[in-house]
């Protein structure tokens, strides 16, 4: 294997921020450029790769750069077959695919000009007609090749079919003009034939998140012919004062922790190298407001438990890196009440104390979860557990009638069931609206076990 050197670029900086190198044995290393480290506006690529003059070896660099590739290995098959590359040849794959990394980063052949630039609504986008949009949605729904001439300009992680595009101020869809380097502004997520209700389920979950005061990305269910898809506003985009669209550097928790995508669930890792509560604490304590972010994460965890979202894995939480090194939690995104699907696991993405599912959580488990996040006072842990649980349960209970009216009764019954399970485990009274609900039935027609 030949040695290879690649430039790593970050949108908003005129010169490469660092160098990714592959040696003759296939090992990779990453180093920031000295002039970039000296820049007071410099942003670290990752919590796992802090700004330093020293290079990072394979163990540190590989997880971060591997996470820049599409999570679905099938999406890499063509380039691997055409170029004769192995899946673990991260630098070789990025040589061909690095210009399309999701987010503000790009990895390019040494000396190549930047390919990601701010966008202008008026000049940098080409409209997509609705007939073509229907064809695109149908192709994603059926897992078929996109219509000729359609390319996803920002490959996205995850197992659901989705495409990055731009939603213009006049309500039409568009794609970046070839060669413009302009960012997309939205993600269109399309359910497959076995999950036709996912768009509405996720839209409702995101709406509930906003209603309860969480910073949450906007999402709208839109019709495309006989299909519905979920249009999601990208949280890693911003509009400048002069009307240009720019990218904000972000990373998910897997990247921040130096974990490959394969270890995004706690159950797949090993002690000290997994997505567990101590690891989450390390990420939150690196933000500009550790106490505030921890409190939000605790509330978000209770919210997820109550709405039946068991898929809060390391790639479904993210950080935003602002100029000058300020780090903050990204808005909530990718919220799906997975317990509505009886074919999906009840196992939580990360354990709450010793519990790996809602039905197993006790007051002691939640206290252990809080302590692992750094809440040292037993009195504070008890106050947080009771106060946050009661508040979130009451707020969600007030949303149940609205869900009924929007033909989401089954989701409302799931929420009520989960609230009842959690409040009983914590020795708290459930809201009256919860007690009056029908029991939740799984799709097989059986009772939800708790």
> What are the sequence ranges of the domains in the chain?
4-109, 119-233, 253-435
Q: May I ask the CATH class of domain 119-233?
A: alpha beta
* Spacing of C-alpha 36 from chain mean position: 28
In this predicted structure, what is the pLDDT of residue 150? 73
In this predicted structure, what is the pLDDT of residue 432? 94
Averaged confidence pLDDT in the chain: 92
Q: Check whether 160 has a pLDDT greater than 70.
A: no
Identify the band that residue 437 occupies on the pLDDT scale cut at 50, 70 and 90. Answer: confident
In this predicted structure, what is the pLDDT of residue 450? 36
DSSP string, 88-137: T-HHHHHHHHGGG-SSSEEEEETTPPP----EETTTSEEEE-HHHHHHHH
In this predicted structure, what is the pLDDT of residue 74? 59
Mean pLDDT in residue range 375-381: 98
Are 119-233 and 253-435 the same fold in CATH? no
Helix (H) or strand (E) holding 405: helix 400-405
Strand, coil or helix: what is 175? strand
- Contacts of 273-282 with CB under 8 Å at 24 or more apart are 275/313, 275/314, 275/349, 275/350, 276/350, 276/351, 276/372, 277/350, 277/351, 277/369, 277/372, 277/373, 278/372, 279/253, 280/253, 280/317, 280/350, 280/373, 281/372, 281/373, 281/374, 282/47, 282/257
Identify the band that residue 21 occupies on the pLDDT scale cut at 50, 70 and 90. Answer: very high
Strand, coil or helix: what is 174? strand
Q: Check whether 443 has a pLDDT greater than 60.
A: no
Q: May I ask the CATH class of domain 253-435?
A: mainly alpha
Q: Check whether 376 has a pLDDT greater than 80.
A: yes
In this predicted structure, what is the pLDDT of residue 248? 95
Query: Are 221 and 199 within 8 A, CB to CB?
Result: yes
Lowest-confidence pick of 87-101, 370-384, 410-424: 87-101
Q: State pLDDT tens for residues 388-425.
A: 999 999 999 999 999 999 999 999 999 999 999 999 99
In this predicted structure, what is the pLDDT of residue 444? 42
Q: Which residues are catalytic?
A: 311
| Of 89 and 152, more confident | 89
Of 71, 95, 69, 67, residue with least CA distance to 82: 95
Q: State pLDDT tens for residues 349-370.
A: 999 999 999 999 999 999 999 9
DSSP string, 137-156: HHHHHTT-PPPTT---SS--
Q: What is the pTM of this model?
A: 0.91
Q: State pLDDT tens for residues 260-280.
A: 989 999 999 999 999 999 999
Query: Are 221 and 284 within 8 A, CB to CB?
Result: no
In this predicted structure, what is the pLDDT of residue 446? 45
Residue 192 gets which letter from DSSP?
-
Mean pLDDT in residue range 373-385: 98
In this predicted structure, what is the pLDDT of residue 445? 45
Mean pLDDT in residue range 169-174: 96
In this predicted structure, what is the pLDDT of residue 159? 46
Q: State pLDDT tens for residues 180-203.
A: 999 999 999 998 887 888 999 999
Q: State pLDDT tens for residues 38-65.
A: 999 999 999 999 999 999 999 999 999 9
In this predicted structure, what is the pLDDT of residue 75? 63
| Of 285 and 142, more confident | 285
108, two tokens: 């390019």
């Amino acid at each position: 294997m030949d040695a290879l050197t690649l430039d790593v670029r970050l949108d908003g900086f005129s010169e490469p921020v660092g160098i990714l190198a592959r040696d003759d044995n296939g090992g990779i290393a990453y180093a920031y450029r000295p002039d970039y480290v000296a820049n007071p506006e410099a942003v670290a690529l990752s919590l796992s790769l802090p700004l330093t003059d020293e290079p990072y070896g394979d163990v540190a660099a590989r997880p971060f750069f591997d996470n820049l590739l599409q999570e679905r290995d099938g999406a890499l098959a063509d380039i691997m077959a055409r170029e004769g590359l192995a899946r673990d040849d991260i630098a070789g794959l990025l040589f061909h695919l690095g210009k399309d990394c999701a987010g503000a980063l790009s990895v390019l052949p040494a000396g190549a000009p930047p390919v990601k630039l701010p966008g202008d609504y008026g000049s940098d986008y080409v409209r997509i007609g609705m007939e073509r949009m229907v064809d695109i949605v149908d192709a994603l729904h059926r897992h078929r090749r996109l219509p000729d001439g359609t390319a996803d300009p920002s490959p996205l992680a995850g197992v659901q079919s989705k495409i990055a595009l731009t939603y213009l101020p006049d309500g039409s869809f568009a794609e970046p003009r070839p060669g413009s380097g302009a960012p997309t502004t939205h993600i269109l997520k399309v359910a497959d034939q076995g999950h036709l209700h996912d768009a509405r389920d996720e839209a409702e979950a995101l709406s509930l998140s906003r209603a309860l005061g969480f910073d949450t990305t906007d999402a709208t269910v839109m019709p495309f012919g006989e299909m519905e898809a979920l249009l999601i506003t990208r949280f890693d985009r911003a509009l400048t004062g002069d009307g240009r669209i720019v990218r904000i550097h972000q990373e998910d928790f897997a990247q921040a922790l130096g974990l490959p995508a394969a270890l995004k669930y706690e159950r797949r890792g090993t002690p000290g190298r997994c997505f567990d509560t101590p690891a989450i604490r390390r990420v939150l304590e690196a933000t500009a407001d550790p106490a505030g972010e921890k409190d939000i994460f605790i509330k978000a965890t209770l919210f997820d438990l109550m709405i039946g979202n068991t898929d809060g894995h390391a790639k479904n939480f993210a950080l935003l890196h602002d100029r000058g090194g300020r780090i903050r939690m990204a808005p909530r995104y990718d919220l799906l009440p997975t317990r509505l699907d009886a074919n999906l696991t009840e196992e939580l993405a990360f354990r709450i104390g010793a519990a790996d599912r809602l039905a197993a959580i006790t007051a002691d488990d939640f206290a252990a979860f809080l302590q692992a996040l750094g809440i040292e006072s037993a009195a504070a842990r008890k106050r947080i557990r009771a106060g946050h649980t009661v508040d979130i349960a009451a707020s969600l209970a007030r949303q149940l009638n609205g869900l009924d009216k929007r033909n989401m009764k089954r989701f409302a019954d799931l929420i009520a069931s989960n609230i009842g399970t959690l409040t009983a485990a914590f020795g708290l009274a459930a809201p009256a609206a919860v007690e009056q609900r029908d029991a939740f039935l799984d799709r097989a027609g059986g009772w939800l076990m708790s």
